[in-house]
Amino acid sequence: MRRYEIREPKGIASLQLVELESPRPGPGQVLLDMKAWSLNYRDLAMPRGGYPGNDKVVRSPPLVPLSDGAGEVLAVGPGVKEFAPGDRVVTSFFQDWDDGEITAEGKASALGGSIDGVLSERVVLNARGCVAAPPSLTFDQAATLPCAGVTAWAALTEAGARAGQNVLLLGTGGVSIFGLQLGKLMGLRVIITSGSREKLERARQLGADDTINSQEQPEWDARALQLTAGVGVDHVLEVGGAGTLERSLRACRLGGNVSLIGVLSGNPEQNPSPLHVMWKRLMLRGIYVGSHRQLEELCRAVEVGHIVPVIDRVFPFDAVQDAYRYLKSGQHLGKVVISR
């Protein structure tokens, strides 16, 4: 079987295919025949050596990249009750975070970062590190759920989002488009920004209620306030980081909720002013993907809510470097997938 490894992290070209013997499942483990994977913004950092400042998260190379995959169970080890050969599963981002608050062990079990990931034709994982894929989804679609899908799900549910409220989404990447789809499923009014007119048109087709072109309207926080009659939004899925946080705080209503998710812009070490948070009594919540239980919840919501993940483009397993370059270019809307 073949898998990708990052041996010397010198950029996307350091993703190399290697040939290995197929692994065997031990007690409590499953052997997966992987069918599809999806890329997240985080994955671009790994061929550069990982996220700076998150020392416990990124293992030193060689590293098998990627957290997100879907496949079929080929064999199970002794004691496995959860799955049988032929079952379709998705991988859980944290292999050792079942439920509740994250623990140090859970945090140190992130696939494709602190431990080897799944960009391999065959993968052995603990059975409790996998979740049954939603039956209505193809492998390509199911492979989009573990990171971006769970992150949007955790952000909205942990902030107590409920029908009739509104949510502001920044850009049209993987997390934001899941935020759009889940937001509509939950009965929220979705306001979304993008630097591209075409992407905003597509977001409208996907159900966005209001769109803001952040190129034409750099003061998108003022527009969000206007759209909510000066009150401000109930929720923000903050994927922009230091470069957008101040505006996200301004766009919020009194007592609004900001889910701190991303680092797309600005200097992550920069300190934003705490004043809006204090005067508006805002709730700021750090989101780091989510637990095994939250992935299970998302899979159920996707099935019951007939959500079809939005895939922008699919690349073959042999063209993984092209898939990474495409994600890096930022041309996509939704998810970039690799398929076998």
CB of 285 to ligand NAP, least distance (A): 11
Nearer of residues 244 and 257 to ligand NAP, judged by Cβ: 244
Q: Please, what is the minimum distance in Å from the beta carbon of residue 66 to ligand NAP?
A: 12
Min. distance of Cβ 96 from ligand NAP in angstroms? Answer: 16
Identity of the residue, 147 or 190, whose beta carbon is nearer to ligand NAP in the bound complex: 147
Minimum distance, C-beta of residue 127 to ligand NAP, in the bound complex (Å) = 24
Per the rule left: phi > 0, alpha: psi between -120 and 50, beta: everything else, 41 is alpha
Beta carbon of residue 278, minimum distance to ligand NAP (angstroms, whole number): 24
Query: CB nearest ligand NAP: which residue?
Result: 173
Which residues in this chain contact ligand NAP in the complex, by CB under 6 A?
40-42, 147-148, 151, 170-175, 194-196, 199, 239-240, 243-244, 261-265, 287-289, 327, 330
The whole-angstrom separation of Cα 182 and Cα 198 is 21
Helices H / strands E in the chain, number of each? 11, 15
DSSP string, 43-61: HHHGGGTS-TT-TTT-PPS
Sequence-ordered list of residues with C-beta below 8 angstroms from that of 154, at least 6 positions apart, any chain? 259, 287, 289, 290, 294
CB of 258 to ligand NAP, least distance (A): 13
Q: How far is CA 160 from the centre of its chain?
A: 19
How far apart CA 103 and CA 97 sit, in angstroms, is: 7
Structure tokens at 96: 């050792």
Tokens of 28: 């409590």
CB neighbour burial string for 60-83, b if at least 16 within 10 angstroms, e if fewer:
ebebbbbbbbbbbbbbbbeebebb
